[in-house]
Amino acid sequence: MINTRKIGLFFAADSLMLWGGAVVVLMAFCAIFAPLLSPFDPTYIDLDNMLSPPSLAHPMGTDQLGRDVLARMLFGARISLMVGFIAVGISGLLGVIVGALAGFYGGKIDALLMRFVDVMLCFPSFFLILAVIAFLEPRMVNIMAVIGLTSWMGVARLVRAEFLKLRHADFIEAAQTQGVSDFGLILRYMLPNALPPVLVNMTLGVAAAILVESALSFLGIGIQPPTPSWGNILTDGKANIEIAWWLNVFPGMAILLTVLGYNLLGEGLRERFNPRQA
């Protein structure tokens, strides 16, 4: 008998990954090839074309300094994706290390590390980021580091849970009897089997990091002008919202589509890696 539920889940996962992956690839393409796609220098000031509406010369209009919005959007994609990937890389590395040590050794090490995770989870992440950035210079390196260092706890708990399930698996016990070191067990046998949920979490984490960076830039404590960012383009739009709608619509749509793309990709991966769909 044909398992219609299994077929439905398979195509649902493929559909989510297809649409999400298409958006992710499109945004990555725009970011990588921004110098080739951009019609103007994103920092070029043209006071004769201040707040010009979308036209053939400027498809997304210009801002209050006459800078081309399309050029700033393309280079802003670079900033947003770079912050998202590096911040998630930092959080993923920390989360994997803490979760692996806690899940593998258990006992007092597990209790100590998990209590630290619980303490970190007590702090509202965004307000913690705001507090830290307020004391640091709002540079891109600082923003990536702060986002990464305040968002690793979910990865740690996921990895710990997977390691607890794998710790007494037959193939792990067989490797132990062969004299494989703890480091070898973690790196070669346990970690590859614990990665699927981590990849899902990190995919969703890219979307969250992009949102945080955009919010910080919008508040004026993120990426600083003249460096283009979707968040600081929105800030320009807020100051001219009654006469320059394009400064709000285009960066807002870019943030929406990018976050939606990563969320769809993450949900598709979650469905694909879900063992209950088999």
Residues in the chain: 278
Rounded CA-CA distance 217/207 in Å is 15
pLDDT per residue as tens digits for the range 190-226: 888 888 888 888 988 999 999 998 988 888 888 888 8
Q: What pLDDT, on a 0 to 100 scale, did the predictor assign at position 275?
A: 53
Given a cut of 90, is residue 6 above it in pLDDT?
no
pLDDT per residue as tens digits for the range 36-67: 998 899 989 988 889 999 999 899 999 999 99
Contacts of 235-240 with C-beta under 8 Å, sequence gap 24+, read 236/63, 236/64, 239/64, 240/51, 240/63, 240/64
Cβ atoms within 10 Å, residue 74:
23
pLDDT per residue as tens digits for the range 90-144: 999 999 999 999 998 988 999 999 999 999 888 887 887 887 777 877 788 888 9
Rounded CA-CA distance 229/235 in Å is 10
Given a cut of 70, is residue 171 above it in pLDDT?
yes
pLDDT per residue as tens digits for the range 72-102: 999 999 988 999 999 999 999 999 999 999 9
Given a cut of 70, is residue 149 above it in pLDDT?
yes
- Kindly state the percentage of the chain with pLDDT values over 70: 93
Q: What pLDDT, on a 0 to 100 scale, did the predictor assign at position 94?
A: 94
Domains plus CATH for the chain? Answer: 4-34+66-277 (1.10.3720.10)
| Start-to-end Cα distance in the chain | 15
Confidence category of residue 278, pLDDT binned at 50, 70, 90:
very low
